[in-house]
Structure 1
Amino acid sequence: MKFKLATMAAAMFAATGAASAADLGRPAPAAVDYVKVCDAYGAGFFYIPGSQTCLKIGGYVRAEYRAYDFDNAFAALAGKTVGTNDPTHHDFTTRVRAQVTLDARTNTEFGLLRSFTEAWWTVDSGSSSPTVTLWNAYIQFGGLTAGRAQSFFDFYTGTTYGSYFEAAHSDTKVNLLAYTFSFGNGVSASLSLEDPTTGSNSRRLSSMFAAPFTITGPTSYGGVKMLDVVGNVRIAQAWGSAQLMAAAHENTNNFNNTTKWGYAVGGGVTVNLPMLAAGDTINLQAVYSKGAVAYAGADLSMGALDFVQTGKNNLAQSTAWSVAGGFVHYWTPKISTAVNGSYLKVDTATTSFLDYKQLDAQANIVYTIVPGMTIGGELEYRKIDFTKGGDTDALVGLLRFQRNF
């Protein structure tokens, strides 16, 4: 298996080398009844005939090829069995994805009215038909955002592909209703109500009963009674950007509807490094959470729980904290390298057998053949150390071809 990974890595590194801002000040144009270029919002927009709305159609086609090196313990975590004829386990897999985006903007007397839609069609190994994903679908009007969009808690979401393993940072699309206050000079503050049951990465993590309180049933999660409340303060200027964020998440049991609020707090910074090369950045972020461990990057598949029911009216909440960072460097305008890493610590209340530490490290090299066409190779490594149960690790190598339009 290691020989196959080495071969894959050699091939991919040999093959590789590495919404525009709205201009609210422009007056609304007169309606036209033929296709005409719209330059009010940047390249690629055109007027929808018979309207004052400008539309941009975009997307990409992506082909990805992966090789895996899992030890037996990690394969078991992933639900696979190494060394057997498990039909769901593969040493190599493929993925093909088509993405389409629609960006419609109209300048009104009250400001910019924008709607944005992004959909994916994905076919993975083991499937002959595509999985359709509505990744983004939101309306923006003034400072209001309504629909499915990036969580307002999220800041640093990685520098690499993170195609199989995603480092420990929140990178979640979610149904939300938010308002952003802009104070000028790149400073803003946002308040958002977010549905944790709709996250692309789940924010409604499970729970369980634990001694001395026992009852029939594997979980004590009582559902969502209140949307998550998320807020941030952000600054974005020529030097880079920074954000402070917080979230409140309500936990409810299914025994007697006892509730307890959990929370997450974090901060991150991105610094531009034009003195090295155009496009270079360095990024750092830290998050602490209690009773809302997904905000720190914890994953239900690893057994992360928001809380444990230890008594009739007692919810013992789990804690998690993470640090993540990344760096991007352009060797030439066409060749770039990115590195990304994180450390996550999860402490599950009263049940130490579920406690674990997680280390992620990723690196890639991407070559832009012509504008819009890239070839990239990436290695993704993960190590998990359980407080009770030993440790395990895995390595994934991938080769990606992508054509953006």
Structure 2
Amino acid sequence: WKNARFALKTWTGQETELGTLKTYTETRFDWLAKAQDYAGGFVSAGGTGVSLNFAWVQLGGFRVGKDESAWVTFSGYAGNVIDDSLVGYGGDFDTGVVQYYFDAGNGFSAVVSLEDGAGGNTVDSYVPHIVGGVKYTQGWGAISATGVYDSVWEEWGGKVRVDVNASDALSLWAMVNYGSESNVVHNSFKNWEGNWAIFGGGTYKFNEKTSFNAQVSYDEGKSLGVAANIAYNIVPGFTIVGEVDYINKATSDYRAVSSDGFGGVLRFQRDF
């Protein structure tokens, strides 16, 4: 499989009497050498796609527009690996938001976000999905707690995450997710099997150019994911990442058939 992407990003910023006025957009143009349907069969020899992933306006701490859910972004993504969702941790990333972010300036921050969801999880009444979180950040790392209410499924979830800067070279993190309905495998915030899922990983910087990244994930449905890569910055703005992934989905109350396998990704990335 050979995939290519061009991501066009734009930023604006202006100081006003009510705080900094910002905008951000990101449009992705994708080309896929092969496209695959959910049954595992190839449906075409090639394909292209265009998606608007971000388009928001922010004044001070108030943000409105197209974004990723605060359920994912406030606590942080699941490590510096390419395939970070071998065991799902985020539900629907894309959503419309009306959001307020508060930064006390002493390491404490908080967020409240009213969201639309996406696809079959798009809100179907006047009640939005609701995300709230608190975080404390210092030189040693950070600790955060995030809660969410899904108004379509009328279910709730929560997560706790700890990040630790063990040294200048080594950073570690761990996260525990919980969803109130074990039989709902995919709602606006949950795409793991069962009630709970756990995640952990870290980054070790060998030098200014080379780093090792790893992630391990496991859920109540007995799905196990392991991902590890080496990222090498050849010259400023050009990075090569080689990654190996392993997934084992065991037979459980949520999955009648077990399956496992290895995969690999080689990424060439230019940022400018």
In the superposition, the TM-score normalised over structure 1's length comes to: 0.58
Question: Which structure 2 residues correspond to residues 129-168 of structure 1 after superposition, within 5 A?
Answer: 129-154=47-72, 155-163=75-83, 165-168=85-88
Cα deviations across residues 116-174 of structure 1 (Å, max 9, x unaligned)? 00111010113555201111111110110111223212224222433485443227232
User: Does the alignment pair 1:263 with 2:263?
Assistant: no
CA–CA distance in 2 between the matches of 1:240 and 1:360? 25
Do structure 1's residue 341 and structure 2's residue 262 form an aligned pair? no
1:282 paired residue among 157, 168, 172: 172
- Secondary structure of the corresponding residue to residue 377 of structure 1: strand
Question: Does the 8 Å CA contact 2:81/2:213 hold for their aligned counterparts?
Answer: no
Contact 1:165 1:382 in 2 (8 A): no
> CA–CA distance in 2 between the matches of 1:386 and 1:129?
34
**CA shift at 1:293, angstroms?**
5.0
Separation in structure 2 between the aligned mates of residue 175 and residue 333 of structure 1, nearest angstrom: 37
Give the counterpart letter for 1:361 in structure 2.
V
Please tell me the residue identity of whatever aligns with 2:159. Answer: G
Q: How does 1:230-241 map to 2 (within 5 A)?
A: 230-241=131-142
Contact kept? 1:297, 1:344, Cα under 8 Å: no
Please name the residue that 2:40 is paired with: none
SS in 2 for 1:169: coil
The whole-number CA distance in structure 2 between the counterparts of 1:139 and 1:236 is: 25
Q: Write out per-residue CA displacement over residues 300-356 of structure 1, whole angstroms, 9 at most, x where no aligned residue.
A: xxxx6xxxxxxxxxxxxxx521110111001111111000111112xxxxxxxxxx3
Question: Where in structure 2 are there 5+ consecutive unaligned residues?
Answer: 35-44
Q: For structure 1, which runs of at least 5 residues remain unmatched after alignment?
A: 1-92, 206-222, 253-260, 299-303, 305-318, 346-355
Q: Secondary structure at the match of 1:332?
A: coil
Shift of 1:236: 2.2
2:90 corresponding residue in structure 1 = 170
Larger radius of gyration: 1
Considering fraction of residues, name the structure with more strand: 2
Name the CA distance, whole Å, in 1 between partners of 2:191 and 2:175. 12
- Matched AA of 2:95: V
- Whether contact under 8 Å (2:165, 2:172) holds in the other structure is yes
Q: Is the 8 A contact 2:205 2:212 kept in 1?
A: yes
User: Structure 1 runs of 4+ off > 6 angstroms?
Assistant: none
State the one-letter code of the partner of 1:159: G
Distance verdict in 2 for CA 1:296–1:342, change over 3 Å = farther
Pair 1:224 & 2:124 matched: yes
| Counterpart Cα distance in 1 of 2:175 and 2:252 | 25
In the aligned structure 2, how far is the partner of 1:110 from the partner of 1:360? Answer: 45
Would you say the 8 A contact 1:296–1:344 is kept in 2?
A: no
Q: Equivalents in 2 of 1:270, 1:134: separation in Å?
A: 30
Change (3 A) 1:100 1:166: farther
Q: Please give the secondary structure, in 1, of the residue aligned with 2:70.
A: coil
- How many Å apart are 1:296 and its aligned residue? 4.2
Q: Show the 5 A alignment for 1:200-219.
A: 204=121
- 2:143 is aligned to 242
**Structure 1 match to 2:37:** none
What is the distance in 2 between the residues matched to 1:244 and 1:134?
A: 29
Q: Which residue of the partner structure matches residue 41 of structure 2?
A: none
**Greater RCO structure (CA 8 Å; 6+ sep):** 1
Which residue number in structure 2 is paired with residue 400 of structure 1? Answer: 267
* 2:16 corresponds to 1:108: yes
1:290 positional shift? 1.5
The structure with the greater share of residues assigned to helix is 1
**CA RMSD of superposed structures (Å):** 2.2
1:297-312 equivalent positions in 2, closer than 5 A:
297-298=191-192
**Equivalent pair of 1:156/1:285 in contact (CA under 8 Å):** no
Identity %: 27
> Could you say what secondary structure the match of 2:10 adopts?
strand
